[in-house]
Amino acid sequence: MHVVGRLLRQAPITFAPAANVRKLPSSPNCAWRSIRTISQTISDKVRENARVMTQIANNSREQAMLGDFQKAVEDAILDSSEAHQKQMMKLLTVPEKGSIFANIIYEMLSATRMEP
């Protein structure tokens, strides 16, 4: 979350169609990749809120923002954080899971290794 805050302070984000999220830089070392991932996770969670989706479908952006949208986003961020924390604790406290996770990360990194 620190990365997101730092990026938001450095470069204001203009709100445009969701397709623009896919246009954010996606280099492996780019922090925008984190924002893209977080945005997708949060939007998926907010999408589960039928009331908010109805407000979005039937109102302008400004009207929808005055409804339940902001609270739904905040709730999704908190829920996501709690889920992430639980997963971290399992990976750190259950050696077998930590080992499996480390192997997955190794495979991901070795698959994208840059050629010299």
pLDDT tens digits for range 15-26: 444 455 455 455
Q: What is the pLDDT along the chain (116 residues), one digit of tens a residue?
A: 343 444 444 443 444 444 554 554 555 555 666 777 888 889 999 999 999 999 999 999 999 999 999 999 999 999 998 888 988 998 999 999 889 888 888 888 787 766 55
Helices (H), 59-94: 61-64, 70-93
Task: Give residue limits of the domains in the chain.
Answer: 1-47
Tell me whether residue 73 is exposed, middle or buried, using C-beta atoms within 10 angstroms of its C-beta: 0 to 12, 13 to 18, 19 or more: middle
Note the pTM of the prediction, 2 decimals: 0.58
Nearby residues of 10 by Cβ (< 8 Å), 6 or more positions away: none
